[in-house]
A and B are shown apart, each in its own frame.
Chain A
Amino acid sequence: MALSATPDRVLADLGATFRPQRQWVEGRGIWLIVGHFLSGVGAGTWLFALWLDWRPGLVLAIAAVALSGLAHLRFLGRGARFWKMYRARTSWIARGFVGMSIFLPAAVLALLVPPGALSGALVVLATVGAAILIVYKGNVYAASRGVPFWNSPVLPILYATYAIRGGLALLLVTLPLGGRGIDAHGVGLIELWVAVSAAVMLGFYLGVMRSTNLAARRSVAELVRGRAAPAFYLGTVAVGLLVPILIGVLGFAGPLSHAVLAVVGATSLVGDFFAKYAIAKAGIYVPLMPAGREPVAPAA
């Protein structure tokens, strides 16, 4: 696996006015994006599978969150020390770890024990864990004061929207495969609503960031015409938003088949992943020195 940043690249970045963040997206950093994506999708899937009372969906949610845990371990420089991440008083990463630690055992036990009071309590506990998993990711980024593009209260809302949407999307892909009959029109409408919400949130977020400080504006520029632009336009906007919204709108003309809904789910998942990837990739640190200034008069 390539390094997140080679020594030469670190030196080159240090000399640049706008220093790009690489640690959370390049090299092993890609596993963090995968981990965040899977934990959001898994937690969202848990909520919708509970709502639909679909047991395979609950298993799928557990699998997604467990894989997310493995991806996080792959990302960490010292994964064997993961158990030390319990300082949840101030750290959102620790809160996410606590959420995962609550969710996984509670969800597994909830499926294993016979239906009853204990099972109900475990489901509630697992749902609390899932809620923490939905909330924590955006806050991890928002707590990064070195990267003004992320340091916004809008980002946690955007990431929570994407997590809920991811859960619904995974169910859209897997429900027909599981032979489960669904109200295609109803689910299609929910998906359309969530996709439009995500698009509005994304637009609002970028609009806010464009009018904040220099580094955040530069990050928006990286997103719309810089190094994150291909992932943003192709993955986040085209595949992740336009396709699901267009298909969702077509759903008003007539009922959508399960296969089409599965396509909507798959494209939404791709969009979810690339939204996280592009936002991470566009991160720029606070500049330490100005880019330039007026020429000074020569010494006498």
Chain B
Amino acid sequence: MRYGMAIDLKRCVGCYGCQLSCKAEHGTPPGVLFARVLKREFGTFPNTQLVYLPTLCFHCTSAPCVDVCPTGASHYREGGVVDVTTDDCVGCRACMQACPYGARFFNETQTGYFPGQGLTPYEERRYSKENVGVVMKCNFCIDRVKAGLEPACVANCAARARTFGDLDDPQSEVAQLVRLRGGEQLQPELGTHPNVYYLPPA
């Protein structure tokens, strides 16, 4: 079992649905974005192009963030999911420096979206003090997956650009997409063996 994801760049419309649904699912504070959409403009008018790159933790098979963690807080879970045990994290941020994909975020203080006004009732309910002073990251919504659901970013993708499943199962949709569409990893030369694949737009 090796959980993985395929993101179809032909289908992605850059709506930020994945980013917002992830924040709603995990109740992450400001500045913490497990899923995010990077946008970049290329060219000069009138020959311009807007390119989207939806990213998240790539749950690498050889995750450098796991190797550098001094406490073992960063670890592999079932299906190769890379996760952080909050209670063991000392907040040294070595994993953030080791991750080539910027998938980890340090939650330095308990701040809300409305500075100077305290936390809203929603924020008070969703933000955990246990997450302050530690590093936070995507865990492929493993609790949802164990309950038979898709990760929030997959379930809420309006364009159905994301496909989640077992990469080790050749019959799974994600494995077939990667195989048939020529799925590409981001920066494979780094040797991290990411388990998130991008399906090229053309």
Binding site for B on A (CB under 8 A): 3-8, 10-11, 14-15, 17, 19, 21, 23-24, 27-28, 75-79, 81-82, 84-88, 90-94, 97, 140-141, 143-147, 150, 283, 285-286, 288-290, 292-298
Contact between chains at A289 and B40 (CB < 8 Å): yes
Chain B, range 138-186, C-beta contacts under 8 Å to A: 186
- A288-B101 CB under 8 A given contacts A27-B108, A77-B108, A78-B91: yes
Contact between chains at A24 and B38 (CB < 8 Å): no
What is the distance, in angstroms, from A93's C-beta to the closest C-beta of chain B?
A: 4
Contact between chains at A286 and B190 (CB < 8 Å): yes
Q: How many A-B residue pairs have CB under 8 A?
A: 161
Known: A76-B90, A85-B92, A289-B51. 18 other contacts (CB 8 A): A7-B29, A10-B31, A10-B33, A11-B33, A14-B38, A17-B40, A77-B133, A81-B90, A84-B88, A87-B69, A92-B68, A93-B68, A140-B68, A140-B94, A143-B67, A285-B102, A288-B53, A297-B47
Q: Which residues of B contact A87 (CB under 8 A)?
A: 69-72
- A146-B97 CB under 8 A given contacts A77-B134, A85-B71: yes
**Residue B23 interfacial (CB < 8 Å):** no
Decide if the interface of chain A is mainly helix, strand, loop or mixed: loop
Q: Which residues of B contact A297 (CB under 8 A)?
A: 47
- Point out which of A23, A75, A143 has the most chain B C-beta atoms below 10 A from its C-beta: A23
- A147-B72 CB under 8 A given contacts A27-B108, A288-B55: no
List 14 contacting pairs A-B, 8 Å CB cutoff, sorted by A: A6-B31, A21-B96, A24-B97, A77-B92, A77-B132, A78-B90, A88-B70, A144-B97, A144-B98, A145-B190, A146-B102, A288-B53, A288-B101, A289-B51
* CB closest chain-B residue, reference A87: B72
Q: Which residues of B contact A293 (CB under 8 A)?
A: 42-43
Contact between chains at B36 and A14 (CB < 8 Å): yes
Contact of A77 among B44, B66, B91 (CB under 8 A): B91
Contact between chains at B90 and A23 (CB < 8 Å): no
CA distance A75 to B108 in the complex (A): 11
